[in-house]
Amino acid sequence: MAFIQAVLDGLMIGGVYAVISIGLTLVFGVMGIVNFAQAEFLTLGMFVAYFAWKFLGLDPLIGSFLSFVVIFGLGVVVQMTLIQRVLNAPPVAQIFVTVGLLIVIENLTLIVFGSDFHSVTTSYQTSTLRIGPLFIGIPYLAAFLMALLSAAALWLFTNKTWYGRAMRATAQDPMAANLMGINADRMRQIAFGLGVGMTAFGGAVILPYFTVHPTVGHQFVVLMFTVVVLGGLGSVAGAVVGGFAVGVIQSVSTLFFPIQLQNLVLFIVFLTVLAVRPTGLIGAAR
Amino acid sequence: MRQAILEVDGISKHFGGLAALDSVSFDVAPGEIVGLIGPNGAGKSTLFSTLVGLHKPTDGTVRLEGEDITGLKPHKVAARGLTKTFQNVALFMEATVLDNVLIGGLLRANVHDARELAKTCLARVGLADIAGKKAADLSFPERARVEVARALATKPKGLLLDEVMAALNRVEMEEIMDLIRSLSRDGLAVVVVEHHMHAIMTLCERIVVLNFGKKIAEGSPEEIARHPEVVRAYLGQEYE
Amino acid sequence: MKWWITGAVVLVAAAIVPTFLDPTGYAIRVLTLALLFAALGQAWNIVGGLANQISLGHAAFFGLGAYTSTILLINFGLSPWIGMLAGAAIAAVAAYLLSFPTMKLRGHYFALATLAFSEVLRVIAGSWTSVTGGPVGLSVPFSPDSFWLLQFKSTMPYYYIMLGALVVISGVFVWIRHSSLGYRLRALKENPEAAEVVGVNTTQVKISAAVISAALTATLGTLYAQFTYFFDPEAVFGIIPISVRAAIIAILGGAGTVVGPIIGAFLIVPMEEMANVLLSSRGAGLSQLAFGVMLIAIILIEPRGILALITNGVSRLRRRKSS
């Protein structure tokens, strides 16, 4: 029974992992760039939702939409001013622009917001749902449902709207997209905005059960990479499957290993996947 | 009949379900110059890549001096004495001409001796005076010659030349052909892929024709020129 | 041989400078750290600059060096000089093993894999409390002055030790560049297929560079531990404090050049230290912020580093004068 409970817990958090990782894989899929700063946008999303709660009294689950909008805008600006300029640069430039961005965002938040830990209080914070012998915390369930909602919305956007299809066309063949009258630069801005916006949204919805501080993103860096590498960099559906897989692996591994080693199992999975299927993964990406 | 140095026996290469090479066989003797022709996409470059170990063949064997070299890594194949040049020229662009050739020489010598060897090879292809230039600054015909020099520096017994005469004028082409002939006099087994039919016909003693990955003909230039299937598949369109 | 003379002059100057400084003061401490990080950047440069494999996991080897020598010192009283060799050997083996899963990875994938590897070690160091001290870290038992135990009250001896480390590692870098390994690395960096076809064993070349770089990085981890007396997992296995910093130091100055990491370290380390002093509590954030901004700026302006920026500028000036 403990095992089933662990799987259930893993699925709940895995849904959130999927959403925050979709952003990373989306950016890679459209631009071929691994955004090492992706987790920082999760931190920012959490802060936006936190201040929306503190000053506007918005529940984080509502504030998450505000997080999405604000970080989407920020993402467009970052794409225009930084990422756009290294699109055709060698990998070393692409890697270190986003690493630089990571350092800048982390330390800006540290300077502006201080190094304190913040958390919100909600009415449903300690409520749990009981299904027979199993328990689900309401905040976890809420975050899970919000994550599913946003993933579904993204799916609708990319498959059912002109913008979404244009974005996918840009990912597949920027030249051809250009010939069809699609502004590839604009599509990349939307893709980057969406990518970091999704991650920020994922950060905001976990705020009811997660404290926020400037370095909270650290905990998610390798985790996000594991999710997308498992699912295949660039594949949105893969990120969803990878998210659930990572959530469950993490949760189940705590049954067998001390909690500190939870991430160790993940890293080993990550390295193994890279080692065993490097061509497969790279092939899936480009 | 001279004893063959390079024996290609039933080489096949499939990419996914597609057969890029379908049971190709031919031999090359020391000092012989064999031409390999065929329409675009016939599998000539794939065959070269497979022979030097860049691709693992799906089936068949490659022997060099009687020893099986099938599936060896390219650097091991090079050490046994078989190397190739690249169709699209794959020089180390940031390095000087001399250093490009030196890297080939490192297979048989230390840095100092490889440098001397590289100078000899450059002189042989007629590029001694531009040894200090950066590879990226060379013209296309010069780059092709550096490719040849780099391959020579590995002291090969078999040499696969992939379109080294592309974009050359008549004089330059004659020079390269003289070079290839002199290499064959030294006992090298040379296989030449070339689109320029006149060059192939005058240079080679024997020609192998590929079409859709299959060998459709083999023989002397005269035989090939008259071969009905070859004429249909290839010469009809390009050789006047 | 003009660069020999320049090198000798700089070296003599570097050897004389500390005699004008307070041997326990702040300035010499900053210079000592700059030398250490220049050496770290140089060790990274062997993989990142010569082979163009962008490692974001050099902290793995740095940390292995720090932990190995310190654990041996605490538990067996073993001299850090011997511990340093042990750490280097362990790091070399780790790099050798890591090269198998990462063999075919390039660009972003290689960076990701190396990053994950160093995180594995950081997590282990933080969890295996009985040996590593867990998240609290380890303290080097204090017993100065002893050359054998690599401990001194004054900063001066450390300065010369770090200078020696930088000279040795730079020497290794220059030697590799002019050796057959260096030529092969260049070939590998530019065109791995062509390199193989003309006889370069690219697998072996990659492993050699990775192992040498890792072993040298580990020795610096030992020196760092002995210099700071105390470290925790984040200090030696951290992505930003070690892995990214090593890479940035090399890239900022000019990756693949011998002076690049030296320029990079002597810009970044003093800047960070000054910010820490001048701006006290929030200084850490500000100096890191400046660090990030500089990184982005150099990548956007001239990804080949400050050295290339200067040489380009000089040649442009010359052209303008002559025309």
pLDDT category at C240 given cuts 50, 70, 90 is confident
Give the separation between CA C53 and CA A41, rounded to whole angstroms.
27
Per-residue pLDDT, A114: 84
Q: What's the mean pLDDT in C81-94?
A: 97
Q: Test C179 with B111 for CB contact under 8 angstroms.
A: yes
pLDDT category at A276 given cuts 50, 70, 90 is confident
The lowest-confidence range among A65-74, A269-278, B204-213, C263-272 is: A269-278
Contacts of A274 in chain C (CB under 8 A): 101-102, 105, 109, 112-113, 116
pLDDT category at A282 given cuts 50, 70, 90 is very low
Task: Count how many residues are written for chain B.
Answer: 240
**Mean pLDDT over each residue of chain A, to the nearest integer:** 87
Give the separation between CA A208 and CA A145, rounded to whole angstroms.
14
Higher pLDDT, A189 or B225: A189
pTM: 0.88
pLDDT in tens, C111-165: 988 998 998 899 889 888 888 988 899 999 888 888 888 899 899 999 999 999 9
Helices (H), chain A: 2-31, 38-56, 60-81, 91-113, 138-160, 162-172, 174-179, 184-205, 218-231, 236-256, 262-276, 278-285
Query: Does C89 score more than 90 pLDDT?
Result: yes
pLDDT in tens, C186-205: 999 999 999 999 999 999 99
Residue A282: inside a domain: no
Give the separation between CA B122 and CA B102, rounded to whole angstroms.
10
Higher pLDDT, C104 or A11: A11
Closest CA relative to residue C37, chosen from C213, C221, C214: C221
Per-residue pLDDT, B239: 45
Per-residue pLDDT, A221: 83
Per-residue pLDDT, C323: 59
Residue A130: inside a domain: yes
Query: Does A45 score more than 90 pLDDT?
Result: yes
Every domain of chain C and the residues it spans: 2-238
Q: Test B53 with C196 for CB contact under 8 angstroms.
A: yes
Tokens 């017994």 sit on residue: B157
CATH class given for the domain over B1-81+156-239: alpha beta
Cβ of B111 under 8 Å from any chain C Cβ?
yes
pLDDT category at C1 given cuts 50, 70, 90 is low
Q: A196 lies in which domain range?
A: 10-215
Q: What is the CA radius of gyration of chain A?
A: 19
How, if at all, do strands B206-211 and B33-37 pair? Answer: parallel
Residue in B92, B95, B154 nearest the CB of C199 = B154
Residue A135: inside a domain: yes
Give the separation between CA A210 and CA C55, rounded to whole angstroms.
32
Per-residue pLDDT, C208: 96
DSSP string, A211-263: -B-TTTTHHHHHHHHHHHHHH-TT-HHHHHHHHHHHHHHHHHHHHHS-GGGHH
Every domain of chain B and the residues it spans: 1-81+156-239, 89-155
- Substitution target in C118, C119, C130, C279 with the highest count of A β-carbons within 10 Å is C119
Coil, strand or helix: which one is B10? strand
Of all residues in chain C, the one with the smallest CA distance to B73 is C196
Residue in B53, B79, B111 nearest the CB of C183 = B111
Residue A36: inside a domain: yes
pLDDT category at B236 given cuts 50, 70, 90 is low
Burial status of residue C323 (CB atoms within 10 A of its CB: 0-12, 13-18, 19 or more): exposed
pLDDT category at B235 given cuts 50, 70, 90 is low
Q: Which two tokens stand for residue C24?
A: 């326990």
Per-residue pLDDT, C281: 59
Q: Which two tokens stand for residue A132?
A: 């027979």
Give the separation between CA C107 and CA A90, rounded to whole angstroms.
9
Q: Test A92 with C54 for CB contact under 8 angstroms.
A: yes
Give the separation between CA C139 and CA C67, rounded to whole angstroms.
10
Query: Does C45 score more than 80 pLDDT?
Result: yes
Quote the DSSP letter at residue C200. -
Residue in B78, B99, B150 nearest the CB of C183 = B99
Q: What's the mean pLDDT in B187-202?
A: 90
How many structural domains does chain A have?
Answer: 1
pLDDT in tens, A194-251: 999 999 999 999 999 999 998 888 888 888 888 888 887 777 888 888 899 889 988 8
Q: Test A34 with C108 for CB contact under 8 angstroms.
A: yes
Long-range contact set of residues A268-273: C-beta below 8 Å, sequence gap at least 24: A268/C120, A269/A226, A269/A230, A270/A222, A270/A225, A270/A226, A270/A229, A270/A230, A270/C116, A271/C101, A271/C113, A271/C116, A271/C117, A271/C120, A272/C101, A273/A226, A273/A229, A273/A230
pLDDT category at A1 given cuts 50, 70, 90 is confident
Contacts of B53 in chain C (CB under 8 A): 196
Per-residue pLDDT, A281: 43
Tokens 């895995």 sit on residue: A14
pLDDT category at C211 given cuts 50, 70, 90 is very high
Residue A262: inside a domain: no
Cβ of A281 under 8 Å from any chain C Cβ?
yes
Q: Which two tokens stand for residue C268?
A: 């970044």
Residue A243: inside a domain: no
Q: What's the mean pLDDT in B48-63?
A: 94
Alpha-carbon separation of residue B122 from B81, B98, B142, B154 (angstroms): 19, 8, 11, 13
Per-residue pLDDT, B177: 93
